[in-house]
Amino acid sequence: MRYYIIKPEDSKLDKKLMTGICAVDKEAAFSDTLKVCDIAVLQKDWTRSKSAVNEWKEAVGLGISVREGYFYNEFETKPADSE
């Protein structure tokens, strides 16, 4: 699957979110363009950014599956020696 992360305009890309996506989908690929992705993932605080809200509206209009980022944070991989 090809993923696009919708994030607030002035925020950096959340590496933990990307790690969680890769933990769930071993063949995940990330896109720089919304129009070519299969799934759009909403990064934390996306509702505080007008551009992120507009990207969400565009994704919905294009029929792209949109998911909340917190879902993937639950699947973040843990180091083997942490047990």
| Inside any domain, residue 20 | yes
Q: 31-83, pLDDT tens digit by residue?
A: 999 999 999 999 999 999 999 999 999 999 999 999 999 888 776 555 444 44
Token representation of residue 11: 């925020």
| Inside any domain, residue 83 | no
| Inside any domain, residue 26 | yes
pLDDT of residue 3: 97
pTM of the model: 0.85
C-alpha 25/C-alpha 23 separation (Å) is 6
| Inside any domain, residue 46 | yes
How many domains does the chain divide into?
Answer: 1
pLDDT of residue 81: 47
Residues spanned by the domain of 73: 2-77
Cα-based distances in Å from 15 to 12, 61, 62, 72, 75: 9, 27, 26, 11, 13
Q: What is the CATH number of the domain that holds 38?
A: 3.40.50
C-alpha 4/C-alpha 32 separation (Å) is 7
pLDDT of residue 64: 97
Residue with more model confidence, 76 or 22:
22
Angle in degrees, CA 34, 16, 60, rounded to 5: 25
